[in-house]
């Protein structure tokens, strides 16, 4: 019964591979979910999301960081980590992203 043992190790290998491949996807989705929460909770208080939507694709990571710093000065309450995370999300968010454009 050597061949069935082989089949099981193949199945296991495929299982591990698909988990390894799926992991970053899950992490990405979690990150996006977190950014979405931050955006709706911390950014929508003062202006429409449209204001953010307009800027997608226009700003580098550094520019987003400085925009967000300015928002914090305006009164947005974000921890250092949250600022970092949001700046990263916004700098890679595609133009017209649903999260901020709908």
Q: Which of 7, 31, 62, 74 is close enough to bind ligand HEC by CB under 6 A?
A: 74
Q: For residue 65, state whether it binds ligand HEC (rule: CB under 6 A).
A: no
89 binds ligand HEC (CB under 6 A): no
Name the residue nearer to ligand HEC (CB basis): 22 or 73: 73
Q: What SS3 class is residue 58?
A: coil
Q: Tokens for 71?
A: 């928002």
DSSP 18-73: HHHHHHHHHHHHHHHHHHHHHIIIIITTTS-THHHHTTTTT--HHHHHHHHHHHHH
Q: What is the size of the binding site for ligand HEC (CB under 6 A)? A: 17
Binding mask 7-46 for ligand HEC (x = CB under 6 A): -----------------------------------xx-xx
């Amino acid at each position: 019964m050597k061949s069935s043992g082989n089949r099981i190790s193949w199945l296991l290998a495929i299982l591990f591979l698909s988990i390894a491949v799926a992991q970053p996807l899950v992490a990405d989705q979690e990150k996006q979910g977190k950014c979405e929460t931050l955006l709706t909770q911390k950014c929508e208080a003062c202006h429409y999301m449209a204001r953010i939507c307009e800027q997608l694709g226009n700003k580098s990571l550094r520019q987003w960081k400085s925009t967000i710093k300015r928002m914090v000065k305006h009164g947005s309450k974000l921890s250092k980590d949250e600022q970092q995370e949001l700046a990263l999300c916004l700098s890679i968010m595609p133009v017209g992203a649903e999260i901020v454009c709908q």
